[in-house]
Chain A
């Protein structure tokens, strides 16, 4: 036994140490708190007096039935990289500070929803808080050995409540801005986690190795007893076990205090990584000695197979019974650590929710209407009062309902309440299709069933409602019995409550969501949450109309954040200190201000506050349709425009082509004139020169004179021929052919050959005639085609060595006429240009006008034929042209 006063002083001293640590943490704790190990230890706030005292109590009657509460969090730790990290990312972005805030931000910034979540969280957590007060008070009474009556318990727990509330107020409500880290608080909680683990492990080691001779000996003695040997096998049915695992899984993720520590107070997202295995390892370590202590307690305190002291107190009673008061004091401090850290963090988390989501909505509108008051300060006061009220309510619960129940059974009722938030949270994180309506209804339905099946029977057992209802149902309606709803009997109360509440909760959530699809606004917000790791979630345009002067935004912010901080924030936003206050605040600034304010007031209230100065840009159905219509019209117009511009481009291209052709023609005309002039000048110069000689020397010898006159005559003829051919060419190019008639090509070719017989005989040229016998008659301008053939023959006889061949063959649609020779031939490079006007190939010798082949080409083209040159089989040139057999269309 320890003196009551000593104990009280030790307890207060311990709380004093916590104060010092918290104070140190707030001032110098940056380096300490920004540490993954501290983060992992701060999560161990999960282990409360329930763990410290209650687990042994449960194990003493249930064997390993206490373990699901820690296996669930271990499973949660495995997916924390997916779930917690996502909550952290979203919360940091949107400055979310509580689970109520999170759900309301996800589902339409609904104040009704956040109030509902807060109510469920507070009501659900009250038994849990009461449990801590009870554990602290009980441990005090056990140690002090005082009167074990209800009044003493109430007095002790009231004292604990006051001390804890003061601590929570001092270190949990320091900043107006909730996103400011509570470093002192985190450091104190991490310290307490170490204390409770050390205390429990110490007493465990002492029990196993000092009180008994190692685990083998302890279990050996225990297994000799039939009722204890039974505890080494499963004592609970599978549905209770499974529900407890799932409850604990959801609790460690979504309990207000776990959300506070894991999401709000996290310094670096990456700390989730370390905590994912350190936290479950902590749970394993603190549970390792639970069963040995429970068995040791049963061995020590059982009389006739029944424990004579409450198993919840075994941890304390064992060292006390052995006279180890120092060890008992350590255990007391460990239990105190477990209870205080839970109460403090839970109070901070709940007070934020109560202030922002229950009280502020009532105050906001009238407060905003009255100008000038510092709302930020006021908000802090509200939080402090909320802590006082919450702790007082927990104490009230303990006084009325909780004094008799075991720690674990009280705690599980709370877990079942918090589990009602799990479907909404998971849907919010992973299912874009979940709607605000569905979540609100699901939460309301689930919470109602929870209240009906778990706390209500407690009221009946406690005599506050007719106990007979448990047996017969309210008003005698049998299927409404709260512990056997719709006649579902034979289940553990927790399993029974969870089956019905989850059926209603998940059923409504899924059912209502799929009945009506989310609105476009909801869908957008859903995407921001569900796809937080995906690309382009940040550049969503804020939904604000911008007609608000900056002054209004500044005034609003200043009332919550203070003038100085507001000025700094706005200066940061604009990147300069002097900003014109009458300027219109843009939508992005208002969005930024909303998010900033959300860190203080929660998303829902921040939205309402901003709406008091700026208009929200709501898109209703008609507006959306109108917008769609408008964009459809715009689309059509732009399509037309595109069509027009394509046409324009086409026309431009045609014009450009025509222009090119004109330029080309112009250039060709210039060339032609230049060449023509040159060609004309050569004979003219020659004529002039000889005429001058004849004129200047009248006594020139007759034969000389004759020779000169001959040259003049020849040049004159050449001049005439040139002019004739130029005119010819012009005529042909202007499509001036003579009349056409059906002619026999063979006859035409023979006639042409005949006219060359004199020349060929004189020059001893062998003429080879290879003319097909079945040449059809064709419609041609006979004289012109004769001109072509003669021209080609003339060229051939001029350039050949001793052989010329004339050919004519029939093709399906054309006849081909060709003249081949064994002369020097035409270089391949000149094959295309040889038909140009005045083309002078390197091999040409200067005779001829240079227009002959150009004329030939013109004539053949006018007949719809083709003319070309290729090497002949005897090394010379082969000029060929084709003429269509059907009508020689001039095209």
Chain B
């Protein structure tokens, strides 16, 4: 028998994919595209790599869980 998580996994991953489109899509990137720094690092740079790391963590959580 498959667990509910196994059955939902494809849908959850698809939802994550759509979330990724938003995360790395233009309107949101535009918000972070400012001449500001965080701890001396450019804001956009920090945002993209932070979002990227979060996204990877979510993939790992969904596929390995």
Contact = CB atoms under 8 A, between A and B. Distances in A.
Contact of A220 (B14, B17, B40, B53): B40
A77 B56 CA distance: 9
Contacts of A215: 40-41
Range class of the B interface residue count: 35 or more
Main secondary structure of the interface of A (DSSP, over half): helix
B45 A280 contact: no
A579 interface: no
B29 A71 contact: no
A710 B35 CA distance: 144
B16 A242 contact: no
Interface residues of A, number: 35
Contacts of A79: 13-14, 17
A223 B52 contact: no
Interface string B14-35: 1011001100111001100111
Nearest to B59: A277
Contacts of B34: 233
Contact of A78 (B33, B41, B49, B59): B59
Contacts of A321: none
Contact of B21 (A75, A273, A288): A75
B29 A74 contact: no
A288 B14 CA distance: 26
Main secondary structure of the interface of B (DSSP, over half): helix
B5 interface: no
A242 B40 contact: no
A741 to B, nearest CB: 84
A56 interface: no
Interface in A236-280: 238, 241-242, 245, 273-274, 276-277, 280
A69 B38 CA distance: 25
Interface in B32-62: 33-35, 37, 39-45, 48-49, 52-53, 55-57, 59-60
B43 to A, nearest CB: 8
Interface string A58-82: 0000011001100100110111011
Given A229-B35, A277-B59, A291 B9 contact: no
Contacts of B39: 216
Contacts of A746: none
A273 B24 contact: no
B40 to A, nearest CB: 3
Given A74-B20, A216-B39, A273-B64, A234 B49 contact: no
Contacts of A63: 44
Contacts of A81: 9-10, 13, 63
Contact of B40 (A219, A233, A234, A280): A219
Given A71-B24, A216-B40, A280 B59 contact: yes
A276 B63 contact: yes
B17 A78 contact: yes
B26 A241 contact: yes
A232 B24 contact: no
Contacts of A232: 35, 42-45
A481 to B, nearest CB: 27
A281 interface: yes
B41 A234 contact: no
A75 B24 contact: yes
A81 B64 CA distance: 11
B41 to A, nearest CB: 6
Interface string A372-393: 0000000000000000000000
Interface in A203-228: 215-217, 219-220, 223
Contacts of B16: 78
A64 B44 contact: yes
A572 to B, nearest CB: 32
A82 B42 CA distance: 35
A219 B42 contact: yes
Interface in A52-105: 63-64, 67-68, 71, 74-75, 77-79, 81-82
Contacts of B30: 234, 238
26 contacts: A63-B44, A64-B44, A64-B48, A71-B48, A74-B55, A75-B21, A79-B14, A81-B13, A215-B41, A216-B39, A216-B40, A216-B41, A220-B40, A229-B35, A232-B42, A232-B44, A234-B29, A234-B30, A234-B33, A241-B29, A242-B25, A242-B26, A273-B64, A276-B63, A281-B56, A284-B56
Given A71-B24, A75-B21, A238-B26, 12 more contacts: A74-B55, A75-B20, A78-B55, A82-B10, A216-B39, A219-B42, A223-B35, A233-B35, A273-B64, A276-B59, A277-B56, A280-B52
Interface of B: 9-10, 13-14, 16-17, 20-21, 24-26, 29-30, 33-35, 37, 39-45, 48-49, 52-53, 55-57, 59-60, 63-64
Identify the 6 closest CB pairs spanning chains A and B, nearest first.
A216-B40, A232-B42, A277-B60, A238-B26, A234-B33, A233-B33
